[in-house]
């Protein structure tokens, strides 16, 4: 059961969009379908913003990952946020998430990313995955202000 990441393209919207809708529903994120699809298409069409990868098992999609780029002198250049990681329910719990994170690291290093950040709710079972993968809590608070 080989796991691989494949860079998603606009042709993959039908594989990614239902999964990102499911992630948003799971997290209680409010966004219209139209705005979500528009934002996904924009990201897929603009590699300078980040990347979307389909997670495939034996050639069939079982999830996706999204990382968006930033730039921070603290890390000496480009950094990224893992904004979304979704593995379909039947594929969870067997080490797929850890394998995806390792594969994603390689993809990001090729794109000169020097640090990877993420946000996770304390009650999310994925917290343990991220800790095992080497993520640590930052001594800073994440604060957000919506601009529109």
Can you tell me the distance from the alpha carbon of 142 to that of 124, in angstroms, rounded to the nearest whole number? 17
pLDDT of 148 > 90? The answer is no
pLDDT in tens, 35-70: 999 999 999 999 999 999 999 999 999 999 999 999
pLDDT at 29 over 90: yes
pLDDT of residue 146: 87
Q: Which domains does the chain have, with CATH numbers?
A: 3-132 (3.40.630.30)
Residue 40's pLDDT is what? 98
Mean pLDDT of the chain: 96
Residues facing residue 3 across a β-bridge: 57
Residue 29's nearest CA partner among 106, 119, 108, 114 is 119
Which residue from 69, 58, 52, 134 is spatially nearest to 96, judged by alpha carbons? 58
Measured at the alpha carbon of residue 89, what is the angle toward residues 4 and 142, in degrees to the nearest 5?
A: 80
- Residues 120, 142: Cα–Cα separation, whole Å: 11
Mean pLDDT of 61-90: 97
């Amino acid at each position: 059961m080989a796991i691989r990441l494949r860079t998603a393209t606009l042709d993959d919207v039908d594989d990614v969009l239902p999964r990102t809708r499911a992630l948003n529903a799971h997290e209680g994120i409010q966004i219209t379908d139209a705005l979500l699809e528009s934002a996904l298409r924009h990201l897929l069409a603009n590699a300078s913003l980040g990347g979307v990868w389909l997670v495939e098992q034996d050639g069939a999609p079982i999830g996706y990952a999204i990382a968006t780029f930033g730039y921070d002198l603290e890390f000496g250049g480009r950094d990224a946020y893992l904004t979304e990681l979704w593995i379909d329910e039947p594929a969870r719990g067997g080490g797929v998430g850890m394998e995806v994170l390792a594969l994603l690291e390689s993809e990001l290093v090729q794109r000169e990313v020097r640090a990877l950040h993420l946000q996770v709710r304390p009650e999310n079972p994925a917290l343990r995955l991220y800790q095992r993968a080497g993520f640590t809590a930052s001594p800073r608070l994440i604060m957000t202000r919506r601009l529109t």
